[in-house]
Amino acid sequence: MPENPLPPANPADPANPANPVDPVDPVSAPDRSAVRVLLRLWPYVRPVRGRLFTAAFVAIVASCLSLVIPLVLKWLVDGPVADRDPGGVWLGALYLLLLGIAEAVLFGFRRWLVARPLAGVEARMRSDLYGRLQRLPIAFHDRWASGQLLSRGTTDLMLVRMFLAFPLTFLLVNGVTILAGYVLLLSQDWSLGLVLLTPVLPLVVVCSLFEGRYGRVARRAQDQVGDLTTVVEESVLGIRIVKGFGRHRSQARAFRELSERLHGTELLKARLLAMIWAVITVVPELAIGAALVLGTVQVADGDLSAGTLVAFLSTALALRWPVESIGFLLAMSQEAATATERYFEVMDAEEEPDTAAPEAPRSGGPDGVRFENVVFRYPDAPEDAPPVLDGLDLHIRPGETLALVGGTGSGKTTLTALVPRLHETTGGRILLDGEDIALMDRRRLRSLVSTAFEEPTLFSASVGENVLMGADGTAGEPELRRALAVAQADGFVDRLPEGAATRVGEQGLSLSGGQRQRLALARAVVGRPRFLVLDDPLSALDVHTEARVEAALREVLRGTTALVVAHRPSTVMLADRVALLSGGRIAAVGTHQELLRSSEEYAWLMSGEKERR
């Protein structure tokens, strides 16, 4: 999202460059040829190529039939009707009927042939995009606004489907028609035919110029649609803030600004399209006009028969529509090409490389979690920025619960994200029971480590499904009850309209922050994981509930190795030892009491009081 939708929208703000968030700069991509881009669709088109080619062939045949029908009409009028031959009239009408039926059936057949396959291509591309996005590194998602991703999965793919349905076929059909028309024209009168050939070269030049410009503008429009999508999404996600501060007017104004920008781009697109369309209309007409004048002179000179001239010109006029249509067919193709380009920008992003250990998982003795000289810097952070974690060493003993305490922004949450490899360490190693996590298969790693995030996200599914997600399908009703009990969530869950079967999440009942947090905690513990990572798991609970959850959680923590990010003494109480994270390293490790005595920073973080002890 480049353009800030918020009130103080300041267009001159250097932090908000005019171009979209996409890390790829579309315009500077060297020599992007629409054809080359569109060819990338081939893997998706391949499975339906038979039907697509058949459909194109049928379209050509149907177009030819459409050309034949007028000929039959002429024959009917000139022949049987003029001769008053009733048999011939019947025959002619029958031919006409048969041709008509054939034409109708072929037209329908073409559409029937491509209907399902094209919808299928669109759906497959969308599924692939979704699957891909689920597997791209978290860092990728940090960088891309979700509206940009969404618009790629919706409007862009619709453009691609429309391209396959229409321009692809008709560029071919009309191309063939034009070619055949020219052959016919040249064979009728080659000198007049040559006159009609003169506009071809300038038109090709104009078209290719147009293509480049139109492509750039189309791209801009698509990016702006993505930005608009982001604003709409944020306006809902942040609706409480908008309302709490009464900012819906300024929000609407910002939205308007953005949509006006899109409006401008679309008008520019229309201007380009209008221009090319006008040129493609005028230039061939001029040639036809020239041919008409020359032909008339030739007829007058007796070099040409009037009949030939009429035939020649009617052929030329019949080619008018195929030629004119090239303009918008090219425009649609160009839009499809930029849409394809946008699509593949995401598809080309590197997935997390899979690093399954070559040998069977080592069953080293329990050693807990070891951080060895861990360095981490966000992949997109500026070069000169200091790493978030800078040579961090920490050992969580097997079965131990370690609290992680640190100032705001010290990297606690970042550290927790490294354990299940949501981010990859920049340097150093993390060992689980002696096994380097960088060499473990991610799925196996994530089945060993369970996390309760700072932000308790619930998905649109039942309470039970949301909790059992944490257990790889191995847990059932008893485990669910146990986990809910640990998180002290059984009480409110049972009071929900349908108990644990109540749908929650975005498309369900919305729960309070404390309730969501307890469900997220239940999700983390339901699978009895070997390693547990809890990021400030009790922040939204009231004192009574917190105390009860702590009591129950202690039981769970006894059997697992856990890292708990703590902001308050009450959470620290869960832990056997505490580690203080400061300046990207572990500054101190010890019990709560020890650190209170020995570390000024720790004392400050826990009590909020600066005075020396």
Partner 1 sequence: MTDTTLTKPPAPAPDEPDPFDRDDLPAPPGATGALLRSLLSAHRARVAVAALVLLVKEAAVQAGPLLVAYAIDRGVPAFRAGDHGPVVAVALGYLLCAVLSGLLQYVFVRGAARVNQDVLLDLRGRIFRHAQVLSVDFHERYTSGRLISRSTTDVESLRELLSEGLQELIGVVLSFLSITLVLLWLDLGIGAVATASFVPLCLLVQLYRRRAGRVYGERSTAIAGVIVKFAETMNGIRPVRAFRREKANDAEFDALNRRHERSNGDALLEMARYVVGSRLVANTAVAGMCLWGAYRVAEGSLELGVLAAAVLYMRRLYDPIDRLGMFLNSYESAAASLTKIAGLLAQEPGVPETTTPRELPHREGAPGREVVFDEVRFAYRTGGEVLPTFDLRIPAGQTVAVVGATGAGKSTLAKLLARFYDPTEGRVLLDGVDLRDLTTPDLRRGIVMVTQEAFLFSGTVAENIAIGRPDATREQIEEAARAIGAHDFIRNLPDGYDTDVRKRGGRISAGQRQLVAFARALLADPAVLILDEATSSLDVPGERAVQQAMDTVLKGRTAVVVAHRLSTVEVADRVLVMESGRIVEDGPPSALVTGDGHYAGLHRAWRDSLVG
Residue 252: CB minimum distance to partner 1, A: 5
For partner 1, the binding residue among 204, 278, 356, 551 (CB under 8 A) is 278
For partner 1, the binding residue among 49, 263, 362, 558 (CB under 8 A) is 263
**Contact status: 460 vs partner 1 (CB under 8 A):** yes
Residue 340: CB minimum distance to partner 1, A: 17
Count of residues interacting with partner 1 (CB under 8 A): 202
Measured distance CA(489)–CA(514) in Å, rounded: 10
Residue 235: CB minimum distance to partner 1, A: 6
The stretch among 46-54, 80-88, 192-200, 339-347 that binds partner 1 (CB under 8 A) is 80-88
**Contact status: 145 vs partner 1 (CB under 8 A):** yes
**Contact status: 474 vs partner 1 (CB under 8 A):** no
Residues in Cβ contact with 114 at an 8 Å cutoff, skipping those fewer than 6 apart: 48, 51, 52, 55, 164, 165
**Contact status: 282 vs partner 1 (CB under 8 A):** yes
**Contact status: 188 vs partner 1 (CB under 8 A):** no
Q: Which parts of 356-375 interact with partner 1 (CB under 8 A)?
A: none
Residues 121-131 as b/e (b if ≥16 CB within 10 A, e otherwise) read bbeebbebbee
Q: Which is nearer to partner 1, 45 or 89 (CB)?
A: 89
User: How many other β-carbons are positioned within 10 Å of the β-carbon of residue 94?
Assistant: 10
Question: Both tokens of residue 221?
Answer: 């429009």
Residues 305-331 as b/e (b if ≥16 CB within 10 A, e otherwise) read eeeebeebbebbeebeebbbbbbbbbb
Residue 356: CB minimum distance to partner 1, A: 14
CA angle 67, 70, 73 (to 5 degrees): 150
**Contact status: 450 vs partner 1 (CB under 8 A):** yes
436 pairs with which residues across the strands? 431
Residues in Cβ contact with 166 at an 8 Å cutoff, skipping those fewer than 6 apart: 329, 332
Q: Which 3 state secondary structure label does DSSP give 458?
A: coil
**Contact status: 512 vs partner 1 (CB under 8 A):** yes
Q: Which is nearer to partner 1, 397 or 585 (CB)?
A: 585
Measured distance CA(198)–CA(107) in Å, rounded: 34
**Contact status: 256 vs partner 1 (CB under 8 A):** yes
Measured distance CA(307)–CA(316) in Å, rounded: 14
Q: Which is nearer to partner 1, 38 or 520 (CB)?
A: 520
Q: Which parts of 95-134 interact with partner 1 (CB under 8 A)?
A: 96-97, 99-101, 103-105, 107-108, 111-112, 114-116, 118-120, 122-123, 126-127, 130-131, 133-134
Are the C-beta atoms of 562 and 509 separated by less than 8 Å? Answer: no
Q: How many helices (H) and strands (E) does the chain have?
A: 25, 12
CA separation, residue 214 to residues 9, 156, 169, 210, 340 (Å) = 29, 16, 21, 6, 15
For partner 1, the binding residue among 76, 337, 432, 562 (CB under 8 A) is 76
60 pairs with which residues across the strands? none
Phi, psi values for residue 179, rounded to 5° = -60, -50
The stretch among 37-45, 171-179, 232-240, 389-397 that binds partner 1 (CB under 8 A) is 232-240
Are the C-beta atoms of 479 and 522 separated by less than 8 Å? Answer: no
For partner 1, the binding residue among 54, 61, 155, 485 (CB under 8 A) is 155
Residue 360: CB minimum distance to partner 1, A: 20
Q: Which is nearer to partner 1, 155 or 188 (CB)?
A: 155
Residue 429: CB minimum distance to partner 1, A: 20
Q: Which is nearer to partner 1, 31 or 350 (CB)?
A: 350
**Contact status: 385 vs partner 1 (CB under 8 A):** yes
For partner 1, the binding residue among 52, 149, 185, 346 (CB under 8 A) is 149
Q: Which parts of 17-36 interact with partner 1 (CB under 8 A)?
A: 21
The stretch among 3-11, 29-37, 182-190, 580-588 that binds partner 1 (CB under 8 A) is 3-11
Residues in Cβ contact with 469 at an 8 Å cutoff, skipping those fewer than 6 apart: 459, 461, 523
Are the C-beta atoms of 562 and 531 separated by less than 8 Å? Answer: yes
Q: Which parts of 407-436 interact with partner 1 (CB under 8 A)?
A: 407-409, 412-414, 417, 420, 422
For partner 1, the binding residue among 11, 30, 246, 478 (CB under 8 A) is 246
Closest CA relative to residue 26, chosen from 198, 171, 226, 185: 226
Q: Which is nearer to partner 1, 371 or 376 (CB)?
A: 376
Q: Which is nearer to partner 1, 212 or 508 (CB)?
A: 508
435-436 vs 427-432, strand pairing mode: antiparallel
Measured distance CA(484)–CA(480) in Å, rounded: 6
Location of structure tokens 């020396």: 612
Residues 48-80 as b/e (b if ≥16 CB within 10 A, e otherwise) read beebbeebbebbbebbebeeeeeebeeebeeeb
Q: Which is nearer to partner 1, 187 or 507 (CB)?
A: 507
Report the amino acid identity of residue 453.
Answer: F
The stretch among 200-208, 274-282, 354-362, 582-590 that binds partner 1 (CB under 8 A) is 274-282
Residue 528: CB minimum distance to partner 1, A: 15
Say what the alpha-carbon torsion angle 417, 421, 422, 428 is, to the nearest 10 degrees. Answer: 70
DSSP state of 454: S
For partner 1, the binding residue among 232, 347, 375, 589 (CB under 8 A) is 232
Residue 458: CB minimum distance to partner 1, A: 8
Residue 31: CB minimum distance to partner 1, A: 29
Residue 45: CB minimum distance to partner 1, A: 16
For partner 1, the binding residue among 472, 477, 555, 600 (CB under 8 A) is 472
401-406 vs 389-396, strand pairing mode: unpaired
**Contact status: 82 vs partner 1 (CB under 8 A):** yes
For partner 1, the binding residue among 29, 205, 241, 356 (CB under 8 A) is 241
**Contact status: 584 vs partner 1 (CB under 8 A):** no
**Contact status: 12 vs partner 1 (CB under 8 A):** no
Q: Is 511 exposed, middle or buried (0-12, 13-18, 19+ CB in 10 A)?
A: buried
**Contact status: 47 vs partner 1 (CB under 8 A):** no
Question: Both tokens of residue 20?
Answer: 């979209």
Q: Which is nearer to partner 1, 14 or 478 (CB)?
A: 14
**Contact status: 355 vs partner 1 (CB under 8 A):** no
Q: Which is nearer to partner 1, 97 or 204 (CB)?
A: 97
